[in-house]
């Protein structure tokens, strides 16, 4: 299952709804989608193929948006918009 998150998802639930629509076009290598103010961040489990990239660009464009950031297992591979990486998990150290 693909994890869906969005900036201000509590106040703007339509962001999750459009991610659900985009998720229908996802290849099996997509782990998570995140919408941050119209920039789609995709976390892939492996480097995406060109057909997968094209499908995601088209699916996001149908939502009226163009910026997409790509990550593989949380590591940046292609960034359109310099937002914070939504897929980095911060480890809290206890003393």
Cα–Cα dist 38/6, whole Å: 9
Give, in order, the Cα–Cα distances in Å from 33 to each of 58, 72, 93, 94: 15, 12, 27, 30
- The tens digit of pLDDT for each residue in 30-78 reads 999 999 999 999 999 999 999 999 999 999 999 999 999 999 999 999 9
Domain limits at 21? 3-77
Q: Is there a domain that residue 48 lies in?
A: yes
Q: Is there a domain that residue 85 lies in?
A: no
Q: What is the pTM of this model?
A: 0.87
Give, in order, the Cα–Cα distances in Å from 41 to each of 48, 93, 94: 13, 27, 30
Q: Is there a domain that residue 73 lies in?
A: yes
Give, in order, the Cα–Cα distances in Å from 47 to each of 40, 50, 64: 17, 10, 25
Query: Structurally, how many domains does the chain consist of?
Result: 1
């Amino acid at each position: 299952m693909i994890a869906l998150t969005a900036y201000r998802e509590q106040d703007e639930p339509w962001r999750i709804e459009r991610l659900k629509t985009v998720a229908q076009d996802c290849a099996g290598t997509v782990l998570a989608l995140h919408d941050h103010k119209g920039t789609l961040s995709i976390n892939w489990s492996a480097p995406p193929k060109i057909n997968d990239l094209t499908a995601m660009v088209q699916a996001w464009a149908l939502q009226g948006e163009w910026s997409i950031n790509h990550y593989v297992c949380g590591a940046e591979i292609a960034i359109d918009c310099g937002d914070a990486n939504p897929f980095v998990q911060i480890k809290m150290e206890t003393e």
